[in-house]
């Protein structure tokens, strides 16, 4: 079973996380940030990843450290669960409608970090959540996993719908990218012979 248990403790956050890639979408998530909880719950469900996560962070300051550090630990858990990446499809993409929003997400588990963010979220806040933190989340995740992440708003006006669509679409893109290609099981999907 492809799974990982990761933790991170700093002066700003304390995080415990367990991840199973080949799961059923079960989750138990408490980050101290309600909107982030919601995004990670639907990320787990739509990717069919089993995810247990607790974070105690300095949310009295704001949610920045919590969002960034959770993303770092989540990316690390994906990396550990994938091991040497042998047999994975490596690439995944999804175009996902979320009410009036239409989101494109694509990922390449390449060993290199990059983020193409074209969500253009129209408001600065969704409730108490600072919408600039969505970009911080994907950068933390991409650096930690070693992947290129692209999220693009093709349509949409509601900030909540745009962000929710992005997390759902990326979950489905990642589920495709980490899935095992039975025709090439055991092979590293790169001419370099490694993607670590």
Residue 196 has pLDDT above 80, yes or no: no
pLDDT band at 1 (very low <50, low <70, confident <90, very high): confident
Question: Whole-model pTM?
Answer: 0.96
pLDDT at position 183 is: 87
Residue 185 has pLDDT above 90, yes or no: no
Q: Which pLDDT tens digit goes with each residue over 60-86?
A: 889 999 999 999 999 999 999 999 999
pLDDT at position 108 is: 98
Give per-residue burial for 20-53: e unless 16+ CB within 10 Å, then b.
bbebebebebebbbebbbbbbbbbbbbbbbbbbb
Q: Which pLDDT tens digit goes with each residue over 27-46?
A: 999 999 999 999 999 999 99
pLDDT at position 122 is: 98
Is domain 3-184 annotated with CATH 3.40.50.620?
no
- CA end-to-end span of the chain, whole Å? 20
In the chain, where are the structural domains located? 3-184
C-alpha–C-alpha distance, residues 54 and 183, integer Å: 37
Distances (CA, A) of 58 to 32, 61, 130, 176: 9, 6, 15, 34
Token digits for 195? 């993607």
């Amino acid at each position: 079973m492809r799974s990982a248990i990761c933790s991170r403790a700093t002066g700003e956050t304390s995080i415990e996380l367990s991840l199973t890639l080949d799961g059923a979408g079960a989750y138990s998530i408490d980050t101290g940030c309600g909107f982030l909880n919601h995004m990670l719950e639907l990320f787990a469900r739509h990717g069919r990843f089993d995810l247990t996560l607790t974070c105690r962070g300095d949310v009295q300051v704001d949610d920045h450290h919590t969002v960034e550090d959770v993303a770092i630990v989540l990316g690390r858990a994906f990396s550990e669960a994938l091991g040497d990446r042998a047999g994975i499809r490596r690439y995944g993409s999804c175009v996902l409608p979320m009410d009036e929003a239409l989101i494109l997400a694509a990922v390449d588990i390449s060993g290199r970090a990059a983020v193409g963010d074209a969500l253009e979220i129209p408001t600065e806040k969704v409730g108490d959540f600072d919408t600039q933190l969505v970009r911080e989340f994907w950068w933390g995740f991409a650096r930690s996993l070693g992947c290129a992440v692209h999220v693009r708003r093709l349509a949409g006006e509601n900030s909540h719908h745009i962000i929710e669509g992005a997390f759902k679409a990326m979950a489905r893109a990642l589920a495709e990218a980490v899935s095992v290609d039975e025709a090439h099981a055991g092979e590293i999907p790169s001419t370099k012979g490694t993607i670590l």
